[in-house]
């Protein structure tokens, strides 16, 4: 019998990394992204790393970087220490019994456990999920400078350098009329060279959304993401059935149970599947399966993670046969610096699936030391 590889230690680190420009969302303007990294050390000397990151402090969802760190250190690490490191499902089930919610924190730890396992058996994480069927995926860019002219210049440059031809516009902060005019200007500027979509991040009422969707589809916008608050399933269903423009659920999808309810209520045409929001790679794969079974479109969503969380998501989405709406795994590109020694590669409107064992991401220790919030803590990259 092979010796059991035990979980010896779980450490966390918060990093604050500036963004390349202000990222203006309906609920917050980001000038820094804060990432929570986890390292799991195993008794055979192997290690696994994972990421659990949110957006805009507590303005996006119920978890903050600080709560993610504290949930891991106070509740998850003590329960997992000493357990069989190869038993990832056992760890997921135990943590689900001990910790309610806190999906982003769970995703970070689970990612590190899968990474460790993949490294020990020397296969990419995608293989632990049945094997990659893609070596690259289409990748969107978010236009969110807060200024139409700047967004247009950014979009045209991205098309020119063949980095992105799918654009997600963050709206919902201004009046519906102004937002629709902004989207129409950008769509007109890029023409047929790009797909234009919008994300409202829950900012509209149903009444506003009716006007909004009408104007957006007339402007040539293809998809509207989470126009209404997460719990407004009936109203989302009205929008999904009432307009041609695709309606995508994002904040409404916190794991497989939500996915089932959103699908059953016909409250979306498309699922934005986020690993962190789903509660980890395994639960995200379940959200994907529910979306597929319901005949919905799929899109790989991001919490604007660093290269680490981005690479982890890429490993899972590489195994998904049809991603009708592509992905938005551009997180590292929004940051002024890349914390990976082997940055994720963007080329020809696509993001490449990292190679190498586990998640396929190697931290650059100088970078993590530089951006860590608390240099006094013990975790070393």
Beta carbons of 249 and 301 less than 8 angstroms apart: no
Beta carbons of 220 and 244 less than 8 angstroms apart: no
Q: What gap in Å lies between CA 19 and CA 8, rounded to an integer?
A: 35
Residue 225: CB minimum distance to Mg ion, A: 5
- Give CA angle at 140 (200, 129), nearest 5°: 105
Q: Which residues of 283-307 are buried (b: 16+ CB within 10 A; e: fewer)?
A: bbbbbbebbeeeebbbbbbbbbbbb
Catalytic residue IDs: 170
Whichever of 31 and 355 has its CB closer to ligand MUC, that residue is 31
Q: What gap in Å lies between CA 202 and CA 117, rounded to an integer?
A: 38
- Binding at 328: pick from ligand MUC, Mg ion, none (beta carbon under 5-8 Å per type): ligand MUC
Beta carbons of 357 and 118 less than 8 angstroms apart: yes
| Secondary structure E strands in the chain | 7-24, 29-42, 47-53, 136-138, 141-143, 166-170, 195-199, 223-225, 246-249, 270-273, 297-300, 346-347, 350-352
State which of positions 349-378 bind ligand MUC (CB under 6 A).
none
Does 126 sit near ligand MUC (CB under 6 A)? no
Residue 169: CB minimum distance to Mg ion, A: 11
Residue 154: CB minimum distance to Mg ion, A: 19
**Which span sits near ligand MUC by CB under 6 A: 85-93, 190-198, 232-240, 296-304?**
296-304
- Give me the sign of the Cα torsion angle 355, 358, 363, 365: negative
**Which span sits near ligand MUC by CB under 6 A: 45-53, 301-309, 317-325, 361-369?**
301-309
What would the two tokens of residue 361 be? 């991401």
Site string for ligand MUC, 321-340 (x = CB under 6 A): -------x------------
- Binding at 180: pick from Mg ion, ligand MUC, none (beta carbon under 5-8 Å per type): none
CA-closest candidate to residue 326, choices 176, 217, 164: 164
How many residues belong to the site for Mg ion (CB under 5 A)? Answer: 3
Site string for ligand MUC, 29-58 (x = CB under 6 A): --------------------------x---
Whichever of 116 and 300 has its CB closer to Mg ion, that residue is 300
Residue 168: CB minimum distance to Mg ion, A: 8
Does 328 sit near Mg ion (CB under 5 A)? no
**Which span sits near Mg ion by CB under 5 A: 137-145, 199-207, 324-332, 350-358?**
199-207
Would you tell me which residues interact with Mg ion (CB under 5 A)? Answer: 199, 225, 250
Would you tell me which residues interact with ligand MUC (CB under 6 A)? Answer: 55, 142, 144, 199, 201, 250, 301-302, 304, 328
């Amino acid at each position: 019998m092979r010796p059991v590889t035990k979980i010896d230690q779980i450490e966390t680190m918060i990093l604050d990394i500036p963004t390349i420009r202000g990222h203006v969302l309906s609920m917050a303007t980001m000038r820094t992204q804060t990432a929570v990294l986890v390292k799991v050390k195993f008794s055979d000397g192997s290690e696994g790393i994972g990421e659990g990151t949110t957006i805009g402090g507590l303005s996006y969802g119920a978890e903050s970087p600080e709560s993610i760190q504290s949930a891991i250190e106070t509740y998850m690490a003590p329960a997992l220490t000493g357990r069989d490191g190869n038993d990832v499902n056992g760890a997921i089930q135990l943590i689900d019994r001990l910790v309610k919610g806190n999906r982003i924190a769970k995703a970070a730890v689970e990612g590190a456990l899968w990474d460790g396992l993949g490294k020990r058996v020397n296969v990419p994480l995608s293989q632990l999920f049945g094997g990659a069927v893609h070596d690259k995926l289409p990748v969107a860019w978010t236009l969110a400078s807060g200024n139409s002219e700047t967004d247009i210049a950014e979009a045209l440059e991205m098309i020119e350098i063949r980095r992105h031809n799918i654009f997600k516009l963050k709206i919902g902060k201004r009046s519906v009329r102004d937002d629709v005019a902004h989207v129409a200007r950008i769509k007109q500027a890029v023409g047929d060279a790009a797909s234009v979509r919008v994300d409202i991040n829950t900012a509209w009422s149903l009444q506003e959304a009716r006007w909004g969707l009408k104007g957006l589809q007339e402007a040539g916008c293809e998809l509207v993401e989470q126009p209404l608050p997460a719990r407004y399933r009936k109203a989302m269903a009205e929008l999904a059935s009432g307009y041609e423009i695709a309606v995508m659920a994002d904040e409404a999808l916190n794991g497989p149970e939500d996915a089932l309810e959103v699908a059953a209520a016909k409250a979306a045409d498309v699922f934005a599947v986020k690993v962190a929001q789903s509660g980890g790679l395994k639960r995200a794969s379940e959200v994907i399966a529910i979306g597929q079974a319901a005949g919905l479109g799929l899109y790989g969503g991001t919490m604007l993670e660093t290269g680490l969380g981005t690479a982890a998501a890429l490993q899972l989405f590489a195994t998904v046969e049809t991603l009708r709406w592509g992905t938005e795994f551009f997180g590292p590109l929004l940051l002024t610096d890349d914390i990976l020694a082997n940055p994720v590669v963007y080329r020809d409107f696509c993001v490449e699936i990292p190679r190498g064992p586990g998640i396929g991401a190697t931290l650059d220790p100088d970078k993590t030391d530089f951006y860590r919030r608390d240099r006094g803590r013990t975790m070393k990259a």
